[in-house]
Amino acid sequence: MLRVRRGDRAAFRDLVERHQRGVIQTIYRAIGDSWEAEDLAQRVFVQVWRSASRYEPTAKFTTWLFTIVHNVIFNERRRRARRNAESLDALAQPDEDTETFGTQFADAASPDPARAAAERELQARISAAIRRLPDNQRTAVVLCRFEGFSYEEIAKVLRCSVPAVKSLLHRARETLKEQLKGCY
């Protein structure tokens, strides 16, 4: 990032390639729309480029990066609350009444379809429940569970104390348990 701060475009390209997947996945987990997650990830990296001159290596780069991710997600959720939008992914799903995919054959190498469907349904419910959490709780859960951040790193991203992060995670877990009761 110090090279990026000096205007090194190759260093910026390397930085994007290294962190793009994690940024997109984090955004997707927060908003549930893969197309929008890619667009917002681009917005994150544009912000990284624009903010490069102000970057100070006082913490890990990923902490600084995911602070930007958190802010972009927060702003997107606020924008969506003001203007209701349809997901292109949701529009692409066929109507159950007109669903025609042709003949389907069982694959002996694939897992049990019923079990796979149940697993997909559970994962979808978990993702939806995470998306319903308040912003700070959702960010804390995503960074802890999916990105492997420490409590200290999450505290820096959310600009709060480590005990506050522990409290956010505890409340999020309790909320998720309540929302997912009977799903597993």
Domains, in order of start, for the chain: 1-85 (1.10.1740.10), 112-184 (1.10.10.10)
pLDDT in tens, 52-102: 888 888 878 899 999 999 999 998 888 878 876 555 555 555 555 545 444
Kindly tell me if the per-residue pLDDT of 172 is higher than 90.
Answer: yes
How many CA atoms, within 13 angstroms, populate the side-chain half-sphere of residue 131? 15
Q: In the prediction, which pLDDT does 90 show?
A: 52
Contacts of 35 (CB under 8 A, 6+ apart): 87, 88, 89
**Reported confidence tier of residue 103, pLDDT bands at 50, 70, 90:** very low
In this structure, which amino acid lies at residue 12?
A: F
Kindly tell me if the per-residue pLDDT of 151 is higher than 70.
Answer: yes
Mean pLDDT of the chain: 83
Average pLDDT over residues 97-124: 63
- The token pair at 118 is 């149940």
